[in-house]
Amino acid sequence: MIIFRMHGISQAAFDSSGAFLQPGRWHSAGTRIVYAAEHASLAVLETLIHAGGRKMPPRVISRIHLPDDISVESAPWMEMPDSQSFGDAWVRDARTAVLRVPSIAVNRMESNFVLNPRHADFPRIQLGNPEQFVFDPRFFLAG
């Protein structure tokens, strides 16, 4: 399976320092995880949502190859802070290297993926070369 991660040009695709410093839907601050998306378009949409309408600095998008035999746990939708507690326990217990979660950005019709860099299977996850991504300027038109 191929999933996608959008990140800064100077940031490594598997850099978990941002998640460590800031909480997210599926983790608390102090937890190292990496977020990715089922589709490139969802990775873009999630990035735009977090930008809050501000123009984005240059970004790249990386393909992430999950081995066919890697275990992927699926989580049902849950509100915060329950989702954060769930994700923190998932990382701490090292149940799987990959957690599939519903994306609120598309009404839970597509999935995001959370990667646990501390899991023993994490090194088996292969990273493709980052590709420069240019945002359509219409995303940032002043209203």
Q: What's the confidence (pLDDT) of residue 41?
A: 96
Q: What's the confidence (pLDDT) of residue 12?
A: 93
Q: What's the confidence (pLDDT) of residue 71?
A: 95
Q: What's the confidence (pLDDT) of residue 52?
A: 73
Query: Rounded to whole angstroms, how far apart are CA atoms 70 and 46?
Result: 25
Q: What's the confidence (pLDDT) of residue 28?
A: 97
Query: Rounded to whole angstroms, how far apart are CA atoms 93 and 139?
Result: 40
| pTM (2 d.p.) | 0.91
- Distance between terminal CA atoms of the chain? 39
Query: Rounded to whole angstroms, how far apart are CA atoms 36 and 42?
Result: 9
| pLDDT tens over the chain, length 143 residues | 999 999 999 999 999 999 999 999 999 999 999 999 999 999 999 998 877 777 778 899 999 999 999 999 999 999 999 999 999 999 999 999 999 999 988 888 899 999 999 999 999 999 999 999 988 878 776 64
